């Protein structure tokens, strides 16, 4: 009986998959990921296999919930010897597909936890934000990475930018729901075109995160309108151009000696490794930073695909480790100047 019910449930979910997108991904990713694609595809098209991590809010710490998570068999992420992992960043994972209910936004009460794809914390850890630093989250909505940054450190100034008006509202609500007023005062939220911030604020920031607009593989697979999906696929080839423009702006906004992290939630090589290689080939003052230690330390909880880069990691969804897709690359701006 349970098997039949499960089968029915999976059948309903399968009907929601957009064949146009799946066929497009099948053609591209079977080449790029080779044998790994079969497992990745199976996880991506089966929401019943998806997992959700629980990020605890240090500004309204849920001690009772933490104990409850332990008793339910959750374990704390990032317990290995990572180069950077603040004790104030507490995230719990379950090996199963258990999901806590999302908390409702209540005015005046800070939320205690945030549900997220655990792989989205890797760009935050790669950035290595320290107390007092000036940081820019260039494409910040819905706010999960900004929130995670604030779990790690007390920045001197955090600029959260989001160009899309609807997503900007989501970002503001996330910050208001989790962050206390004294810290809100050091956060600026803007609705600027990220491609223009570098010119407006040159060499201002110690750390810049570019969580770029991309082919969001998980959501695209469940596009409800095949015509829109076809249009998206056609426009997909333009995304690397936008991503490069955002990176150029981020490099301008970064002070010499500062660190930039680029991330996407797509498997696409054109939007990941190719964009970073193009950036490194274009700038004589931007250097790759080796982050392979993150993959070595976190391999128990994440599955990584080869990228051919010391500065780039790619988390791919796997059974029992259904995190990602998430590409992360780390760059540093040197004191020399100029494009090649």
Catalytic amino acids?
265
CA distance 227 to 140: 28
Instruction: Classify residue 123 by burial, with Cβ atoms within 10 Å: 0-12, 13-18, 19+.
Output: buried
| Contact of 116 with 55, CB cutoff 8 Å | yes
Given the structure tokens 């100047």, which residue do they identify? 337
Query: Which residues, including other chains, have CB under 8 Å from residue 136's CB and lie 6 or more apart?
Result: 158, 159, 161, 197, 201, 204, 205, 207, 208, 209, 250, 253
DSSP string, 154-218: --SEEEEE--SHHHHHHHHHHHHHHS-HHHHTTEEEE---GGGHHHHSTT-EEEEEEE-----HH
Nearest one of 68, 182, 55 to 119, comparing CA atoms: 55
> What's the CA gap between 155 and 304, in Å, rounded?
30
Mapped onto helix, strand or coil, the DSSP state of residue 313 is: strand
Residues flagged as binding site for S-adenosyl-L-methionine:
139-145, 162, 193, 211
Q: How far apart are CA 339 and CA 286, in angstroms?
A: 9
Q: How far apart are CA 57 and CA 112, in angstroms?
A: 5
Residues contacting 319, CB < 8 A, separation 6+: 39, 42, 43, 49
Q: Are 221 and 21 in contact (CB under 8 A)?
A: yes
In total, the chain counts a number of residues equal to 340
Q: How far apart are the C-alpha atoms of 315 and 302, rounded to whole Å?
A: 7
């Amino acid at each position: 009986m349970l098997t039949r019910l499960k089968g029915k449930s999976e059948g309903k979910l399968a009907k929601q998959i957009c064949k146009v997108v799946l066929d497009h991904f099948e053609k591209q990713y079977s080449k790029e990921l080779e044998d790994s694609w079969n497992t990745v595809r199976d996880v991506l098209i089966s929401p019943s296999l998806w997992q959700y991590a629980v990020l605890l809010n240090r500004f309204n710490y849920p001690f009772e919930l933490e104990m409850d998570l332990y008793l339910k068999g959750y374990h704390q992420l990032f317990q290995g010897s990572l180069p950077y992992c603040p004790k104030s960043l507490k995230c719990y994972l379950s090996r199963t597909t258990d999901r806590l209910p999302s908390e409702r936004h209540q005015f005046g009460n800070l939320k205690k936890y945030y549900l997220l794809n655990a792989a989205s914390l890797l760009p935050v850890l790669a950035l290595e934000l320290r107390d007092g630093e000036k940081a820019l989250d260039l494409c910040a909505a819905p706010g999960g990475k900004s929130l995670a940054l604030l779990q790690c450190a007390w920045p001197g100034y955090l600029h959260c930018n989001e160009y899309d008006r609807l997503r900007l509202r989501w970002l503001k609500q996330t910050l208001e729901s989790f962050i206390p007023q004294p810290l809100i005062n050091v956060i600026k939220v803007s609705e600027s075109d990220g491609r223009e911030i570098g010119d407006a604020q040159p060499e201002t920031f110690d750390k810049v995160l570019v969580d770029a607009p991309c082919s969001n593989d998980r959501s695209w697979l469940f596009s409800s309108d095949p015509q829109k999906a076809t249009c998206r696929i056609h426009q997909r080839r333009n995304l690397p151009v936008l991503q490069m423009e955002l990176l150029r702006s981020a490099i301008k906004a970064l002070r010499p000696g500062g660190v930039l992290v680029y991330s996407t939630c797509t498997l696409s090589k054109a939007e990941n490794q190719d964009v970073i290689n193009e950036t490194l080939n274009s700038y004589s003052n931007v250097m790759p930073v080796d982050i392979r230690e993150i993959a070595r330390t976190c391999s128990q909880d994440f599955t990584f695909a080869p990228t051919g880069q010391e500065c780039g990691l790619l988390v791919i969804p796997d059974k029992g480790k259904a995190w990602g897709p998430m590409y992360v690359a780390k760059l540093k701006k040197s004191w020399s100047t100029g494009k090649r």
